[in-house]
């Protein structure tokens, strides 16, 4: 099981990684909404992210409507945010930047 991150680690991550925030309410999770030019670009992002998530054995919660993908990351078996969430979030940001 992955170790939970301290609040200061989470705040540091949020300052360095634009667009990510804590989920509202008591749930320990990171959230971000991505916008792409169209559905194909959003789907390409989701495909690349899904392959990385499978490789990491760490799967996002997400919701897609046309060109928008809303992502929630949390390590459920640890009960909050762990390094796995940080790593997947950073990979997703790289994928989003590479999609034209």
Contact 36, 45 (CB under 8 A): yes
Residue with the bigger pLDDT between 37 and 79: it is: 37
Query: Is this prediction's pTM over 0.85?
Result: yes
For residues 45 and 68, what is the distance between their CA atoms, to the nearest angstrom?
A: 10
Question: Is residue 76 very low, low, confident or very high in pLDDT (cuts 50, 70, 90)?
Answer: confident
What value does the mean pLDDT take over residues 20-33?
87
**Whose CA is closest to 72, among 55, 91, 59?**
59
| Average pLDDT over every residue of 31-60 | 96
- Alpha helices by DSSP H, 1-100: 7-16, 39-56, 83-98
pLDDT tens across 2-13, in order? 666 678 888 899
Query: 89: how many CB neighbours lie within 10 A of its CB?
Result: 22
């Amino acid at each position: 099981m992955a170790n939970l991150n301290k609040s200061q680690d989470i705040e540091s991550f949020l300052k360095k990684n634009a667009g990510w925030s804590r989920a509202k309410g008591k749930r320990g999770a990171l959230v971000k909404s991505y916008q792409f030019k169209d559905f194909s670009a959003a789907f390409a992002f989701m495909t690349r992210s899904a392959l990385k998530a499978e490789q990491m054995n760490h799967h996002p919660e997400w919701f897609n409507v046309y060109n928008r993908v809303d992502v929630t990351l949390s390590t459920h078996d640890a009960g909050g945010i762990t390094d796995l969430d940080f790593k997947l979030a950073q990979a997703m940001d790289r994928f989003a930047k590479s999609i034209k």
